[in-house]
């Protein structure tokens, strides 16, 4: 069937016989939207072809986190001009025929000659989202009336779901896809099967990530690397990509990012901390379907994740001046905002329930010297019994008003005078979406992909790495935050004024997300995650230079985050919750860190937000104060930059390479200037362990971009508790001390009698009674427990009886014992680690290398497993 041949379905409700325009005229609850005439040819209409999707109204609410879901019964229609009198043509009927298809994400090329969109089908009535068909990119050429699938091969087209296509100014296509081309290659390099990684929150859909291909489907490659989805890419006048990124790890939601078309120079554009700008601050809004306007502002649809009748409000954002609604860029410091201006003065609500001003589903700004916008909009309508009526103030003020099904249709919206001009008569039970105009516009700037030798050292690409360059981890929001260690970064950087142990920040750890497959690949039992709902790997460590600077090679094409560590290898600052990425050969620079929990909280991750707090070397060729002359800096260089430049000339860049070991060597102190010897060298190395190492042996001797540190509790942490820690007398037989963990921390003594483990902590080898797929020791380390005592030869919970003063009835409750470790916070796990400090009663019981292993495992989340494909991982 088709829409032109009695397609789709009868409306689920019987509507009043008034036309849509009659309802609009009666609307009084949403403000004063003015409706211009749309019934005759009008010089104010758009004299260019327009395309839009007609679909039946879905029976289920959409969810912005679900990009693969099918809302079948759609076709793409084209009119030669945006006018009610223009003839409507169904251009996909030649493919869809009588079958059910879905269509989304319509866009147009810069010349205004072709439309591009995503389509999938045929679909069953109750489509199983785990099954094909997949979304594919299609293109329609207006002049020749030809329709083609961009990827002609059925096999290649079925390899992933492709949505959100957009033309690049060089003729290529950027789109969002579950193919994860480069990410799957990285998985295979790690010895895992290639698979579509799931979104990190919920793990119920493959992550859609940005890819680029030629217009014949060739030269396809991935350019964004995120653990949740990247969607709705467009191209700014500058030539940079702009898209909506779902940051599942941070929990903040969907906001706007930019990057070059090859994925380099990834930056936050807007909105990470502006989600409380909707109708109700307690109902966060998301920034989606954003497009640049002719004046350089950005038009975005703001709406909650779901339950908003497929729409929301239109907001115009000054992204050039602001990174957040009230946070300007450094060049506009002092401005208070707001950056956001609602496009309409009407009461459009971004929360569940009726919206008096109606809701917008899509918007396409025109580039004709006006501020007009093509929109699809549904007025506010209510159900009174079985009748649809307009939203009057009286009806909206009744108890629990019930929204009628939306009726999205096409309009020209002029925000200057708040008028909506209907383009054609809406049809009950059918919604218009994805309205775009084939209006020619100037090509954006073309940003060429970076190439080896010309743009970067080809050796970096060969090694599969990029470079992360941090000026100083003591730079907080552009403020010198060396205190309390020193009055300034300059003092900290001078070995004659501060020793290494007087500096908080000693090492940088690079952590990598662990991609997780769907249940069809591996149905992992939740107990495999343990104390966290995610898995993490460690890519390696690098020392932080005295001035707080770092210049380090990081594996390319992976989502990673950083952690600043103290001398013991424990994280100093709150968890970095934003995924970073580097493309092969790319160098990404940042000034430093940021302050958490400020009011209002400030955003980072975009150039030009803060000035650098660290000026670096004062002059070229003059050593940093108090340092040796080995590393001769250029003016303005950081210590890491100067050392890396020297190292790449003399040590094959050794100083900027990651290591799986935590190693410190003082290469800076000038003994004469400091009046002391250089700081002592130390190393927390896996080679010092007597238990299994959590990395490949080759990575200990020579780190490469494929090296990973994977710590699983059963294999790497639990064996520590039973390692013999015995000191013998000179005769080699007499035991002087026995500090084996399980000697005291077990439920039976040497004679086999029951006992309460020391410190109420059982580190024995028994499985947990609560979670049989985990060791009891793991549960006791990380979860609250009941205190126990020996009662008549048996270990039982300690109960405290209290009397209810009202009833006099006795109640017995167990006495609680706090967990020894805090997952994700080794420095906060004082109940455990303080015992092993030099002044603790367990000093020396665990080696520095063992304490480092436990510390890093706790910091990354204290998971039970960090490799989903480990043979011991419990499966459902």
DSSP state string for 200-216: TTT--SBPPEEEEE-TT
**How does the average pLDDT of the chain come out, rounded?**
92
Neighbouring-strand partners of residue 795: 790
Three-class secondary structure assignment of 130-166: CCCCCCEEEEEECCCCEEEECCCCHHHHCCCCEEEEE
**Which residues have CB under 8 Å from 86's CB, separation 6+?**
79, 80
* 38 has a pLDDT exceeding 80: no
Q: What confidence score (pLDDT) does residue 40 get? A: 41
What's the angle, vertex CA 135, arms to CA 134 and CA 141, rounded to 5?
135
What confidence score (pLDDT) does residue 124 get?
Answer: 82
Q: Which residue has the tokens 């912005």?
A: 64
Over residues 212-218, mean pLDDT: 97
Instruction: Tell me the backbone φ, ψ of residue 503, rounded to 5 degrees.
Output: -110, 130
| pLDDT value, residue 22 | 44
Residue 673: its H or E element: helix 671-674
Q: What is the helix (H) or strand (E) element at residue 649, kind and residue range?
A: helix 639-650
Q: What is the pLDDT of residue 806?
A: 84
Q: Quote the percentage of the chain above a pLDDT of 70.
A: 94
Identify the structural domains of the chain with CATH numbers, from first to last: 3-437 (2.120.10.30), 458-506+544-684 (no CATH), 715-859 (no CATH)
Q: What is the pLDDT of residue 248?
A: 86
Q: Distance (Å, rounded) from C-alpha 490 to C-alpha 780?
A: 45
Q: Give residue 129's pLDDT.
A: 60
Asked whether the CA dihedral 712, 713, 719, 721 is positive or negative, the reply is positive
pLDDT classification of 517: cutoffs 50, 70, 90 = very high
Summarize pLDDT for 548-587 with one digit per residue, the tens.
999 999 999 999 999 999 999 999 998 888 999 999 999 9
Residue 397's alpha-carbon distances to 307, 382, 393, 789, 862, in angstroms, are 20, 12, 6, 62, 51
Among 81-90, 638-647, 716-725, the range scoring the smallest mean pLDDT is 81-90
Poorest-pLDDT segment among 79-83, 172-176, 706-710: 79-83
Report whether 260 contacts 203 (CB < 8 A): no
User: Is the confidence at residue 34, as pLDDT, over 90?
Assistant: no
Please determine, for residue 455, whether its predicted confidence score (pLDDT) is greater than 70.
yes
pLDDT surpassing 80 at residue 18? no
- pLDDT tens digits, one per residue of 283-315: 999 999 999 999 999 999 999 999 899 999 999
For 767-815, the pLDDT digits (tens) are: 999 999 999 999 999 999 999 998 888 888 898 888 888 888 888 888 9
Q: Which two structure tokens, joined as six digits, stand for 785?
A: 């427990």
CA angle 173, 586, 512 (to 5 degrees): 90
- pLDDT at 866 (0 to 100): 98
The answer to whether residue 17 scores a pLDDT higher than 70 is no
Greatest mean pLDDT among 34-43, 118-127, 533-542 lies in 533-542
pLDDT at 8 over 70: no
- DSSP codes of every residue in 774-805: SBHHHHHHHS-EE-EEEETTEEEE-EEEEE-T
Q: Read off the tokens for 192.
A: 């895992």
Q: Give me the pLDDT at residue 300, please.
A: 98
Q: Average of pLDDT values for 621-629?
A: 96
d(CA 335, CA 328): 6
User: How many residues are listed for the chain in this entry?
Assistant: 876
Identify the band that residue 251 occupies on the pLDDT scale cut at 50, 70 and 90: confident
Could you please report the per-residue DSSP string of 812-856? EEEPEE--S--TT-STT-HHHHGGGSTTSTTTTSS-HHHHHHHHH
Give the tokens for residue 478: 């552009």
Work out the average pLDDT over 499-517. 97
User: Phi, psi (5° rounding) for residue 599?
Assistant: -125, 115
């Amino acid at each position: 069937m088709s829409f032109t041949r009695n397609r789709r379905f009868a409306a689920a409700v019987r509507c009043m016989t008034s036309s849509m325009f009659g309802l609009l005229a009666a609307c009084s609850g949403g403000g004063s939207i003015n409706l211009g005439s749309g019934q005759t040819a009008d010089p104010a209409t758009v004299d260019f072809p327009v395309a839009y999707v007609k679909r039946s109204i879905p029976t289920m609410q959409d969810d912005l986190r679900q990009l693969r879901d099918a809302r079948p019964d759609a076709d793409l229609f084209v009119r030669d001009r945006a006018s009610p009198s223009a003839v409507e043509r169904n251009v996909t009927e030649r493919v869809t025929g009588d079958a059910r298809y879905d269509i989304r994400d319509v866009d147009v090329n810069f010349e205004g000659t072709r439309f591009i969109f995503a389509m999938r089908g045929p679909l069953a009535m109750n489509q199983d989202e785990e099954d094909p068909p997949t979304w594919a990119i299609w293109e329609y050429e207006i002049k020749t009336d030809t329709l083609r699938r961009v990827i002609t091969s059925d096999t290649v087209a079925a390899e992933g779901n492709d949505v959100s296509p957009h033309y690049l100014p060089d003729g290529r296509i950027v789109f969002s896809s579950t193919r994860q081309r480069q990410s799957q290659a990285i998985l295979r390099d790690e010895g895992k099967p290639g698979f579509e990684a799931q979104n990190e929150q919920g793990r119920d859909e493959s992550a859609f990530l940005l890819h680029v291909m030629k217009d014949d489907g060739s030269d396809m490659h991935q350019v964004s690397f995120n653990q949740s989805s990247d969607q709705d890419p467009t191209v700014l006048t500058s030539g940079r990509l702009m898209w909506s990124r779902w940051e599942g790890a941070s929990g903040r939601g969907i906001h706007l990012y930019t990057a070059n078309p090859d994925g380099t120079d990834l930056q936050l554009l807007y909105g990470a901390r502006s989600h409380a700008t909707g109708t109700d601050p307690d109902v966060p809004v998301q920034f989606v379907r954003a497009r640049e306007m002719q004046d350089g502002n950005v038009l975005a649809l703001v709406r909650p994740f779901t339950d908003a009748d497929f729409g929301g409000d239109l907001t115009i954002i000054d992204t050039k001046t602001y990174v957040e609604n009230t946070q300007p860029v450094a060049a506009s410091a002092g401005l208070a905002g707001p950056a956001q201006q609602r496009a309409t003065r009407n009461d459009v609500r971004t929360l569940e329930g009726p919206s008096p001003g109606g809701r917008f589903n899509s918007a396409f700004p025109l580039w004709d010297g006006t501020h007009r916008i093509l929109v699809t909009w549904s007025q506010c309508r209510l159900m009174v019994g079985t009748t649809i009526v307009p939203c009057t103030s009286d009806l909206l003020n009744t108890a629990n008003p019930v929204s009628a099904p939306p009726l999205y249709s096409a309009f020209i919206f002029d925000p200057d005078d708040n008028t909506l001009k209907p383009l054609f008569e809406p049809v009950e039970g059918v919604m218009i979406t994805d309205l775009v105009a084939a209006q020619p516009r100037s090509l954006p700037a073309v940003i060429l992909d970076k190439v080896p030798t010309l743009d970067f050292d080809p050796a970096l690409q060969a090694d599969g790495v990029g470079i992360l360059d941090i000026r100083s981890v003591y730079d907080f929001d552009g403020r010198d935050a060396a205190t309390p260690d020193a009055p300034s970064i300059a003092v900290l950087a001078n070995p004659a004024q501060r020793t290494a142990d007087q500096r908080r920040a000693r090492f940088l750890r690079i952590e990598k997300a662990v991609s997780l497959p769907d249940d069809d690949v591996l149905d992992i039992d939740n107990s495999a995650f343990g104390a966290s709902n995610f898995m993490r790997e460690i890519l390696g460590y690098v020392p932080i230079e005295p001035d707080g600077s770092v210049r380090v090679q990081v594996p390319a094409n992976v989502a990673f985050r950083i952690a600043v560590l103290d001398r013991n290898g424990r994280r100093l600052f709150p968890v970095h919750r934003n995924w970073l990425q580097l493309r092969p050969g790319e160098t990404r620079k940042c000034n430093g860190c940021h302050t958490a929990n400020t009011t209002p909280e400030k955003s980072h991750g975009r150039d030009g937000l803060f000035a650098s707090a660290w000026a670096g070397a004062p002059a070229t060729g003059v050593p940093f104060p108090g340092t040796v002359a080995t590393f001769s800096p250029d003016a303005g260089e950081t210590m890491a930059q100067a050392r890396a430049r020297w190292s790449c000339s003399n040590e094959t860049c050794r100083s900027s390479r990651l290591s799986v070991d935590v190693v410190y060597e003082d290469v800076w102190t000038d003994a004469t200037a400091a009046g002391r010897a250089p700081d002592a060298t130390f190393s927390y190395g896996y080679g010092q362990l007597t238990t299994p190492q959590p990395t490949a042996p080759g990575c200990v001797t020579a780190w490469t971009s494929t090296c990973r540190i994977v710590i699983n509790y059963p294999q790497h942490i639990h064996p520590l508790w039973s390692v013999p820690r015995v000191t013998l007398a000179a005769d080699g037989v007499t035991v002087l001390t026995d500090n084996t963990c399980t000697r005291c921390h077990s439920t039976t003594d040497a004679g086999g009698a029951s006992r309460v483990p020391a410190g109420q902590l059982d580190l024995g080898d028994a499985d947990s009674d609560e979670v049989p797929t985990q060791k009891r020791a793991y549960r006791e380390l990380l979860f609250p427990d009941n205190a126990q005592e020996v009662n008549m030869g048996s270990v039982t919970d300690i109960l405290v009886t209290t009397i209810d003063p009202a009833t006099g009835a006795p109640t017995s409750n167990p006495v609680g014992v706090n967990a020894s470790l805090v997952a994700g916070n080794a420095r906060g796990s004082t109940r455990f680690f303080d015992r092993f400090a030099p002044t603790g009663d367990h000093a020396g019981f665990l080696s520095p290398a063992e304490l480092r292993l436990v510390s890093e495992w706790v910091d990354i989340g204290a998971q039970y497993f960090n490799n989903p494909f480990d043979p011991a991982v419990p499966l459902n």
